[in-house]
Chain A
């Protein structure tokens, strides 16, 4: 039995909630150990900073992976335009909630409250997703992939275009801010309001052990994101366990059969696509717009591929797997190497400025320069690692960690009952 199988068996014995909480807690523990190891006297503040950042990342990627899992894992819609739908949601919220009287040089918005902006962003992302899906769903999976990625680039180029930076409609000025981006009322303010209001005792307690205010606010925001993840998970579990969800699984198994059973599969696919896009739009504003600012640079197609990596690690087809994959990806592959690279030093050996100087050390049998160069460039190398992990998983464990749980489309199991190695069983 391979190690992956044994990990998988152990994962299977735990209930899903325990599994997810245990996973997130162990990533927090890793961060805590790292902070204690490198932080010295300041370890508590460093730990709060690490854990806060990693929680925000885990939350953001978990929402995105859940949305993608609904589209790809349940219905087989290969959408690689995630970045574009995130941009639609984030920009809609930004335009709706940006103040009408901004600071000098900033773009005015409509000044609506945040909750209106969030709903507006999700609705707009769903509408744009539906418009994209309407013609595109006829296409083969790989063509759909290319159409969606091209579509997401078009969206990015349009919001980047300075012609839309500031426009006026019916006398109301608003805009996207072009390449400089747009500032708006961010969900982060909710976290800071909480901390500065009801949460004052917590702040006082935290400052007692040396945790700074911004780090605590960041951590609070991360936990708020995890609550959004839990809510999304609940909604998606409701959807996928409903008769609607059964049709989605049936479409994934065999679309022709589903059609011949009288289901209008196109409608189901478009609806699924729209729900997923709405969730992506929400993640766009909550995750990328955390600081109350969005710019086109944040919505390059690479983020789409990170979400794919997260989902594939977790196993497409499983909601629990999506969250665990997102935690593994963002905690262990994306965040941890970068922090390690920053904080590990090779006593005295300064990293050479380029690879030639680094390799030159090998000539005199001194591997330290190359090692130092590698460590200082680890934030680049982690992407190589992510690529290699992706290839390894797709070659050897295409189900990821939990993808084997892929629920069947039927409500009763159609597998043959397990019997011994054949022959009579009641001897």
Chain B
């Protein structure tokens, strides 16, 4: 492509899509600024600091790792939200509380098995406040068991919720379903608060810290999050590519009536969607608690908007989009600290969500439904 042609293309983009041009300009500026910061130079223009500053490669890398870890868990949780959004066609506001429910069930299981025989009273263990901090290295089996329970438990929760709430309203419009999911979110969140209280409990902390390439410091719990979420994403990929389920889901997302006429058992596909999405959400929540160390009754609710951001950035309905969107949003949430004060980093992730919805509602990957 010649330079003239490239320039004309550029002008066309500027004229037709001013929003995209602004986004490109802002990202270009931020990139330039990042390079200048890493190089340790500062560029002044008319007496004010235009760009630059200082940032070490080490702190950049640790921010990237932090963002990547949160992003992987968010992406894992986002798969379910994306699937229900495309197949049942509604924004499920109860998804964040599914994440919390799974995390609590998993951690109670892990905590009780780890605490058996230590003499701690069972009620202390159940309420997650015996003060013990679990880690993958020191208590491998309980943590593994908790992971499994988190998955199974959240599947049970979503199946029950679907049976009671969404199934009687299969054919209603998506706003009614959205409102019903707000009701589910309230009920679920405060049931958890009723059982476990509203305090924040510290349940996990890294048992072992390893330093990679003498720059990145990472704990065993963080490695567990990395490995488990990558394995699960790979598993979802294989499941959808190698089985008929993936094809059936794609067909249903496209046109439910047509799918049913073609002989796809739609109700069974919906149930499998809930099982897959709910299980991954619970495991995602469990892993996030493993990484952050604390759990409270509304952490999933607070996370929900971040999960929505991941799903929308990746393109609603696309499972690979949800994974990539999760990582991207995690990185934005963590790397925004380079340019913004710490109180506003979360706002930047929401801003990305709004900008993507306005400029490219089909997601940055162009809305290819890969489910």
A, B in one complex = yes
Chain A residues at the B interface, C-beta cutoff of 8 Å? 78, 135-136, 139, 141-143, 145-147, 149-151, 153-154, 157-158, 160-163, 305, 308-309, 312, 354-357, 360, 377, 380-381, 383-384, 386-391, 394-395, 398
Determine if B186 and A305 form an interchain contact, defined as CB atoms under 8 angstroms apart: yes
Residue B365, interface by CB 8 Å = no
19 A-B pairs (CB sep. < 8 Å): A139-B357, A139-B358, A139-B361, A142-B174, A150-B305, A150-B354, A151-B354, A153-B346, A157-B346, A163-B343, A308-B182, A309-B183, A354-B123, A356-B126, A356-B127, A387-B187, A394-B169, A394-B176, A395-B180
Tell me the nearest residue of chain B to A385, going by C-beta: B187
- Answer yes or no: B50 CB below 8 A from chain A CBs: no
Q: A146 and B91: CB pair below 8 A?
A: yes
| Ranked 7 nearest A-B pairs via Cβ | A387-B187, A390-B183, A387-B186, A356-B123, A383-B190, A161-B343, A391-B183
A355 CA to B148 CA in the complex, in Å? 24
CB of B186 within 8 A of CB of A386, answer yes
B305 close to A380 (CB less than 8 A): no
Q: A135-B358, A384-B190, A391-B165 are in contact. Are A142 and B91 (CB under 8 A)?
A: yes
Are B343 and A162 closer than 8 Å at their CB atoms? yes
Measured between beta carbons, the chain B residues less than 8 angstroms from A154 are 347, 350-351, 354
Q: Looking at the complex, which one of B175, B179, B188, B347 makes contact with A157 (CB distance below 8 Å)?
A: B347
Majority-rule SS of A interface residues:
helix
Stretch at the interface among B3-11, B39-47, B193-201: B193-201
Given A158-B347, A384-B191, check contact A391 B358 (CB 8 Å).
no
Contacts of A354 in B (CB 8 A): 123, 126-127, 197
Q: Tell me the nearest residue of chain A to B161, going by C-beta.
A: A391
Nearest Cβ distance between residue B200 and chain A, in whole angstroms?
Answer: 16
* CB pair A380 B193 closer than 8 Å: yes
Inter-chain contact total with CB atoms closer than 8 Å: 132
Cβ contacts under 8 Å, A381 to chain B: 190, 194
A157-B344, A383-B186, A398-B176 are contacts. A146–B127 as well, Cβ < 8 Å?
Answer: no
- In the complex, whether B223 has a CB less than 8 A from a CB of chain A is no
List the A side residues contacting B174 at CB < 8 Å. 141-142
Task: Report yes or no: B343 in contact with A160, Cβ–Cβ below 8 A.
Answer: yes
Q: Is the interface of B mostly helix, strand, loop or mixed?
A: helix
CA distance A89 to B169 in the complex (A): 37
Q: Are A146 and B175 in contact (CB under 8 A)?
A: no
Residues in B neighbouring A142, C-beta threshold 8 A = 90-91, 174-175, 178
Q: B3 to chain A: closest CB distance in Å?
A: 34
Residues of A within 8 A of B196 (CB): 355
Closest B residue by C-beta to A179: B343
Is B251 at the interface (CB under 8 A from chain A)? Answer: no
For A384, give its contact among B172, B179, B180, B187 (CB under 8 Å).
Answer: B187
Of residues A151, A154, A163, which shows the largest number of chain B Cβ atoms within 10 Å of its Cβ?
A154
Alpha-carbon distance between A62 and B68 when the two chains are bound, in angstroms: 45
In the bound complex, residues from chain A placing their C-beta under 8 Å from that of B189 are 383
Does B203 sit at the interface, judged by CB under 8 A? Answer: no
Asked whether B176 lies within 8 Å of A147 as measured between CB atoms, the reply is no
| B354 adjacent to A147 (CB under 8 Å) | yes
Q: Mark B142-171, 1 if CB is under 8 A from A, else 0.
A: 000000000000000000000011001100
- CB pair B175–A78 under 8 Å, yes or no, is yes
Distance A312 CA – B176 CA, assembled complex (angstroms) = 10
Check: B274 CB closer than 8 A to any chain A CB: no
How far, in whole Å, are A146 and B343 apart by their CA atoms in the complex? Answer: 21
With most chain B CB atoms within 10 A of its CB, the pick from A136, A147, A150 is: A150
> In the complex the two chains form, is A146's CB within 8 Å of B183's CB?
no
Q: B191's closest neighbor in chain A, by CB? A: A384
Given contacts A139-B361, A147-B354, A150-B354, contact A308 B179 (CB under 8 A): yes
Q: Which residues of B contact A356 (CB under 8 A)?
A: 122-123, 126-127
Contact B187 A391 (CB under 8 A): yes
In Å, the complex CA distance between A388 and B361 comes to: 32
Listed residue (A139, A158, A308, A387) with the most chain B CB atoms within 10 angstroms of its CB: A387
Q: In the complex, A355→B168 CA distance in Å?
A: 32
Interface check B185, CB cutoff 8 A: yes
B76 proximal to A (CB < 8 A): no
Q: Are B198 and A380 in contact, with the CB atoms below 8 A?
A: yes
CA distance in complex: A384, B190 (Å)? 6
Check: B119 CB closer than 8 A to any chain A CB. no
Chain B residues, CB < 8 A from A139: 357-358, 361
Q: Are A143 and B357 in contact (CB under 8 A)?
A: yes
- With A139-B357, A146-B91 given, is the CB distance from A153 to B178 under 8 Å? no
Q: How far is A390 from B177 in the complex, measured between Cα atoms in Å?
A: 11
Residue B184 interfacial (CB < 8 Å): yes
Report B-chain residues with C-beta under 8 Å of the C-beta of A146.
Answer: 91, 308, 312, 353, 357
Establish whether residues A149 and B305, one from each chain, have CB atoms under 8 Å apart when the complex forms: yes
A153 touches B122 (CB 8 A): no
- Whether A153 lies near B179 (C-beta < 8 A) is no
Residue from B187, B341, B350, B361 in contact with A153 in the complex, judged by beta carbons closer than 8 Å: B350
Closest to B121 in A: A356
For the complex with contacts A143-B361, A383-B193, A384-B187, 15 further pairs of A-B residues with Cβ separation under 8 Å are A142-B91, A146-B308, A157-B344, A157-B346, A305-B185, A308-B182, A354-B127, A355-B195, A355-B196, A380-B194, A380-B198, A391-B164, A391-B165, A391-B183, A394-B180
